[in-house]
Every structure is written in C-alpha cells, then in structure tokens.
Amino acid sequence: MRPLTEEETKTMFEKLSKYIGENIKLLVDRPDGTYCFRLQNDRVYYMSEKILKLATNISRDKLVSVGTCFGKFTKTNKFRLHITALDFLAPYAKFKVWVKPGAEQSFLYGNHVLKSGLGRITENTQQYQGVVVYSMADVPLGFGVAAKNTQECRRVDPMSIVVFHQADVGEFIRNEDTLT
C-alpha cells in the first residue's frame, strides 16, 4: 500500500472530475477528518487516516481491501472506476441521468441506457460527460458516460444509446469476487 504517484493521482482525478468535477476537493479536503487515497494491488482505496493507520499493521500481500475501493489502474495505467465508489461520488455528482423503472434492470445487467429508458437528465449535459445513473426513485444505480448531450437526447430515436454503461450496482453481485 502506497500513496499514489503524481501521475496516478492525476489520472485518477481526471477520471473522477468527469463525474464530480471540482467536488473532488471535498473528497480530498474533508472537514471531518483526513482522508487519503492509497494504492494497493493496482487498486485505489479511499480511506480515513484512522483506517490507514490501522491498515499499516497488515502486510501488503495479505491486505485484500481497505477503506473504499474507488477503482483500479489498468495495465495501461488508465484508471477504471469501480462501483464501490458510487457512495462517494453520487452525492457530488454534477450530471445525472435517471432511468425509467423498466430500463433499470437492463442497466443493472450492464447494458447501456437507451433513449427509451431515459427518464430524466440533467440539462446541459455534454457528450461524453460522466454521469451518475439514478433510478426514478433517486437511488443511485451506477456510472455512465453520456453518449449524447441533452439536446440530442431529446431528439434521438428511442432505441439509440444515450448513456454508456460504466459501472452499476449490479456488479456487486456479478463481480463479487473481483470487487474489493
């Protein structure tokens, strides 16, 4: 477990900023305590200082998970967001997409969100903007990337994809073994 290098931090923040923008600051600079990002097994964990200290007692190879996994670095050093970060990102999300109840399941099975399943969308969402997907009951379901901007979303035909799937809470079940 080690702190992230500058490069890593940058890539990660770049990714995160797609979803929550400058609200990352609220994650880094929290009033309720010191929180930090740590890399372990290519995975980035977000944890409080307290937990960090506790975790120091565990050897690196034995440490499976600590704090909250935000995502992992791929072999090509790209950062991939994990669904576990949803709890931290959803409250700060700038752009949101609400899916209709009928399309919820589809999304939770890892499919993209089609126009027909799009219930509501934040205005001024740009193309390829990271969005947090909500159910119509305002339950965060996962992450996505807007395939179209808001205006286009109005016009496109019902079967076109409006949000690319990134991560969804269904992964908690589907990828139970790999999610940490």
Partner 1 sequence: MRRLYVGGLSHTVTQKDLKDRFGKFGEVEDVELRTRTDEEGVPYKTFSYININISDADLKKCLTVLNKSKWKGGTLQIETAKESFLDRLAEEREAAEEQRQQPRVVEDKRQKMLDSLSKAGVENFTMKAAVPGTEVPGHKDWVVSKFGRVLPVLQLQGQKGSKARTLKYDPSKYSHNIRRLDRTAEDQPTPVTQLTWEVQGGDDDISKKRRGEFPPFEPSRPKKSRTDKVNSHNAVGQTRLKQSVNSVNHREIYPLTNGYEPPTNHRPAQRKEVRYPGSDVDSDEEIRRMVAAQDSSRFTLGRKEEDEDNLEVVGLDYLVRAGRKDDEGENDYDSADTDELLASKKPPLTSTQERLTPPTENHLSGNDTDRRKKKKKTRTAGEEEESSAKAEDQLTSRKPSSEQQREDSGKKSSQGQSEKIVVIPVVEAPHSESDSDEDEEEEEDEDEEELDLANDSDSDSDYDAMFANVTHLEISLADLQRIAEESEQTSETTTPSIPGSSSEQEHKPKSASAPKKGTTPEEILASIMAEDSSEDEQTMRKKKKKRKAAMSMPLPAFQGTKTLNKESELEDSQRRHEGEEEGGEEVKKQKLDSEAPQLNLHETDSKTTRMTREAGRETTESSEEEEEEEEEGKTEEEQEDEEEEEKEDKKEVVKDKDAQGVGNTEKTEPDSSSSSDEDDDEEEEEGEVTKTGPSVLTKAAAKASPSSSTSSSGEDEDKLVSAKVAAKAAPPPAHQSESSSSSSSSSSSEEEEEEERPAPLHRVPLGAKEEEERQREANMRRLAAVQQRQKETEEHKKLIQGALANLDGPAAGGGKHIVFGSDDDDDDDEEEKQQVTLGVTASKKTLFQDSQSEEEATDDEAAANKEGGEKGKVHLKPSVSQLFSGSEDEEDGDEEEDSSRFDIRPQFEGRAGQKLMELQSRFGTDERFRMDSRFLEDDNKEEEPEKKTSVDDEALEEERKKNLSILQSVLGSSQQTSSSKTSVKAKTFRDVSALHYDPSKEEHAAFETKTEETKESKAARRRKREEAQKLPEVSKEIYYDVSGDLKAVFGASKDEVTEEEEKPNWDQEEEEEEEEEEEGDPKNEQSTLLSSLLSADQSAEKDESSGFKFSFFGDETETESKQTEEYKVESIQAPKVSWQQDPRFHDSSSEEDEEEQEEDETQSSITAKTAEEETPSNNHRFFFFLEDSRLTEGPRLFCRPAHLEEQREQWEERRTALRQEYRKKHKDARKKVKSSQKS
Out of 54, 77, 101, 172, which residue is the one contacting partner 1 (CB under 8 A)? 101
Q: How far is the CB of 177 from partner 1 (least distance, A)?
A: 23
Distances (CA, A) of 157 to 58, 114, 153: 54, 9, 9
Which among 23, 46, 22 has a CA at the least distance from the CA of 35? 46
DSSP secondary structure string for all residues of 140-171? EEEEEEESS-HHHHHHS-TTSEEEEEEEETTH
Let me know if 12 is exposed, middle or buried by CB neighbors in 10 A (0-12, 13-18, 19+).
buried
Residue with tokens 């740009």: 126
158 lines the binding site for partner 1 (CB under 8 A): yes
Q: Which of 40, 84, 129, 150 binds partner 1 (CB under 8 A)?
A: 150
In the stretch 124-143, what mask flags binding to partner 1 with x, by CB under 8 A? x---------xxxxxxx---
Q: Is 111 an interacting residue with respect to partner 1 (CB under 8 A)?
A: no
Shortest gap between Cβ of 55 and partner 1 (angstroms)?
13
Nearest to 88 by CA among 167, 2, 9: 167
Reading the block at residue 60, the tokens are 């690196």
Helix (H) / strand (E) containing 33: none
Position 51 contacts partner 1 (CB under 8 A)? no
With CB under 8 A as the contact rule, which of the stretches 6-14, 66-74, 80-88, 171-179 interacts with partner 1? 6-14
Choose which of 44, 66, 69, 153 interacts with partner 1 (CB under 8 A): 153
Residues 20-39, mask of contacts with partner 1 (x by CB under 8 A): -xx-xx--xx----x-xx--
The answer to whether the beta carbons of residues 38 and 47 sit under 8 Å apart is yes
In whole angstroms, give the CA distance from residue 9 to residue 38.
10
Residues lying near partner 1 in the complex (CB under 8 A) = 3, 6, 9-10, 13-14, 17, 21-22, 24-25, 28-29, 34, 36-37, 49, 52-53, 94-96, 98, 100-102, 104-105, 115-116, 118-124, 134-140, 150, 153-154, 158
